[in-house]
A and B are shown apart, each in its own frame.
Chain A
Amino acid sequence: MSFVPLTPAEAAAMLARVGVSSVDDLFEVIPAAVRFPALDLPPGQSELTVSREVRGLAAQDRPTGELACFLGAGAYHHYIPSAVGALANRAEFATSYTPYQPEISQGTLQATFEFQSLVCDLFELDVANASVYDGATALAEAVLMAERLTRRERVVLAGSVHPEYRSVVETYVAERGTELVLGEVAATDGALREADVAALLDERTACCVVQQPSFFGGIADFSALRQACDRVGALLVMVCNPIALGLLKSPGAWGADIAVAEGQPLGVPMSFGGPWVGLMATRERYVRQMPGRIVGAARDAQGRRGYVLTLQAREQHIRREKATSNVCTNEALLALHATIYLSLLGPTGLRQVAENCYQYAHYAAAQIARLPGYAVLTPEPYFHEFVVRCPLPPEELNRRLLADGILGGLPLGRFFPELADCALLCCTEMNTRAEIDKLVAALAAA
């Protein structure tokens, strides 16, 4: 058998079959300007020269470890205990790719089983998968799952949902005929106004998506919304911050049907935005429509405990185009980070981290609110993020703060033009009181 993947004769046969005369003709449909963009690269250099060049570039980076970081908005600066890296980077875990005979890798499967169990505990839901790509795609998958479960094609996204998550959902459903209804929320509301979202629901609605804490940091009560969903037969999908769950009522307790979260805060470095890990859980009766791999505990022929991949008929190697998802990426190594992180902290430790985040944020907000020209718009209750109206453009403010070694909040104008003079600030357990006082002094001086 020949292992040459494509012989000239085969290429010619394929081109003839699709009715073009050359490979160039095949790509004719792609606009010429983007087909072969000119790459203006210098000639080859020695390893030493390149390494010097790249070190120079790296030195321009301002890592969060050297700054006082008040930036959040979906990526959070938390402490990562050294045991996380020490264990996760062991070669047995770090170098393995998806095992093609998964059951031979009992260690990997056990770690994934523990991960799923921890996600279930955190969300207080019945079943979790082995993780998906990240928080935003976990939400998009949850929306598709709700459409399959209800056989409806209308989706309500509350204004509390991260604008980038909303974009990812829009991309996922763009060609599916899904009717997306985007709720609105004012920064001054903090969390969503439940009644406004409930008013968007109707009998064609597959699901209602809310985020807790909201993009603006606010914490909402979902009891009335849960009832509103029940009245029209819509599912309730919640996007959560896993750290906040150390303190807040779980999605399961709110009656959510599907819960998703970005797992980055659980021991995963921010790494310029990824790779991260998507957490996803649901009720047992919905498990067959959940995407992703699922590890189950079983017994072998001798009665010993073992782990298996289960419910695989949902997946693309069996169901092909009818699979629950055709995204192949599972973030096993980062799910392992989250597993080790949660195991180290336990419920008490997680609550302590969450309380520190909450207290630092509320201390910072109280100090900033006293400054002339500044206003904190997010009302109570909120978790560890809040919106601040600034006396000068937030982008300019951030340049001045950076000069003082402070990473400021997210300027909100890029998502909400009406909030062009506002920034979203975040505090975590990484901030110290001294750092916050320094921020407040720098804001006062700006």
Chain B
Amino acid sequence: MTPEDRRYSSEHEWARVDGGEVVVGITDFAQNQLGDVVYVELPRVGDQVKQMKVMGVIESVKAASDLYSPVTGEVVAVNDAAVAEPQAINDSPYDRGWLIRVRPDSLDELNGLMSAQEYDLHVSDRGAEE
């Protein structure tokens, strides 16, 4: 269920390596917890993002949450379609609902993130606590 071609942060962002760059989005669990996303504020192309630092804001009908970058580097693309129609983040969090594309300072950073299996466990622990 959770795609195995990418890494996951404890803040529920995913990072997928694509041709030396990293595509970033939020997980299905995150979009499900948020509910209908109505607004997303992302960095701009050329901005620097830092791993586990705030890179933007996502707002749903019931909450507003910070977005944390899972990787350090320079933003090379932003998903304008998701900004214009945030529903894409709910409908297709792992694909059409991607958020930004980053040229990473080092791909090694991703080793510190979770695998799909570890993330599923992280989420089920979280579910158990709640």
Residues of chain A whose beta carbon lies under 8 Å from any beta carbon of chain B: 151, 288, 313, 318-319, 322
Dominant SS among interface residues on chain A: helix
Interface residues of B in 70-117 (CB under 8 A from A): none
Known: A151-B44, A313-B39, A322-B66; 8 extra A-B contacts, CB below 8 A, are A288-B39, A288-B41, A313-B59, A313-B63, A313-B64, A318-B64, A319-B64, A322-B57
Using an 8 Å CB-CB cutoff, how does the interface string of B42-64 with A read, 1 for contact, 0 for none? 00100000000000010100011
A322 to B54: give the CA distance in the assembly, Å: 11
* CB-CB nearest in chain B for A319: B64
Can you give 11 A-B contacts (C-beta < 8 A)? Answer: A151-B44, A288-B39, A288-B41, A313-B39, A313-B59, A313-B63, A313-B64, A318-B64, A319-B64, A322-B57, A322-B66
A319 to B63: give the CA distance in the assembly, Å: 10
* CB-CB nearest in chain A for B44: A151
A319 to B39: give the CA distance in the assembly, Å: 14
Using Cβ atoms and an 8 Å threshold, which residues of chain B touch A319? 64
A267 to B63: give the CA distance in the assembly, Å: 39
A318 to B60: give the CA distance in the assembly, Å: 12
Interface residues of B in 14-61 (CB under 8 A from A): 39, 41, 44, 57, 59
Using Cβ atoms and an 8 Å threshold, which residues of chain B touch A288? 39, 41
Residue among A313, A318, A319 having the largest count of chain B Cβ atoms under 10 Å? A313
A288 to B64: give the CA distance in the assembly, Å: 12
A151 to B41: give the CA distance in the assembly, Å: 12
A275 CB, min distance to chain B CBs, angstroms: 31
A151 to B64: give the CA distance in the assembly, Å: 20
Using Cβ atoms and an 8 Å threshold, which residues of chain B touch A313? 39, 59, 63-64
* CB-CB nearest in chain B for A289: B41
A400 CB, min distance to chain B CBs, angstroms: 59
Using Cβ atoms and an 8 Å threshold, which residues of chain A touch B59? 313
B69 CB, min distance to chain A CBs, angstroms: 16
Using Cβ atoms and an 8 Å threshold, which residues of chain A touch B66? 322
* CB-CB nearest in chain A for B59: A313
* CB-CB nearest in chain A for B57: A322
* CB-CB nearest in chain B for A314: B64
* CB-CB nearest in chain A for B66: A322
A396 to B44: give the CA distance in the assembly, Å: 58
A322 to B64: give the CA distance in the assembly, Å: 11
* CB-CB nearest in chain B for A148: B41
A96 to B44: give the CA distance in the assembly, Å: 44
Using Cβ atoms and an 8 Å threshold, which residues of chain A touch B39? 288, 313
A319 to B41: give the CA distance in the assembly, Å: 14
* CB-CB nearest in chain B for A312: B64
A318 CB, min distance to chain B CBs, angstroms: 6
A383 CB, min distance to chain B CBs, angstroms: 39
B113 CB, min distance to chain A CBs, angstroms: 25
A318 to B66: give the CA distance in the assembly, Å: 12
Using Cβ atoms and an 8 Å threshold, which residues of chain A touch B57? 322
A36 to B41: give the CA distance in the assembly, Å: 48
Closest 8 CB pairs of A and B: A313-B64, A313-B59, A318-B64, A319-B64, A288-B39, A151-B44, A322-B57, A313-B39
A173 CB, min distance to chain B CBs, angstroms: 22
A429 to B64: give the CA distance in the assembly, Å: 49
Using Cβ atoms and an 8 Å threshold, which residues of chain A touch B64? 313, 318-319
A167 to B87: give the CA distance in the assembly, Å: 44
A288 to B39: give the CA distance in the assembly, Å: 9
* CB-CB nearest in chain A for B65: A313
A137 CB, min distance to chain B CBs, angstroms: 24
A87 CB, min distance to chain B CBs, angstroms: 36
* CB-CB nearest in chain A for B64: A313
Using Cβ atoms and an 8 Å threshold, which residues of chain B touch A318? 64
A318 to B44: give the CA distance in the assembly, Å: 24
* CB-CB nearest in chain A for B43: A151
Residue among B41, B59, B66 having the largest count of chain A Cβ atoms under 10 Å? B59
Residue among B41, B44, B64 having the largest count of chain A Cβ atoms under 10 Å? B64
* CB-CB nearest in chain B for A288: B39
A151 to B44: give the CA distance in the assembly, Å: 9
A39 CB, min distance to chain B CBs, angstroms: 46
A313 to B66: give the CA distance in the assembly, Å: 12
A313 to B64: give the CA distance in the assembly, Å: 6
Using Cβ atoms and an 8 Å threshold, which residues of chain A touch B41? 288
* CB-CB nearest in chain A for B60: A313
A313 to B63: give the CA distance in the assembly, Å: 7
A313 to B40: give the CA distance in the assembly, Å: 12
B85 CB, min distance to chain A CBs, angstroms: 15
A64 CB, min distance to chain B CBs, angstroms: 47
Using Cβ atoms and an 8 Å threshold, which residues of chain B touch A322? 57, 66
A184 CB, min distance to chain B CBs, angstroms: 33
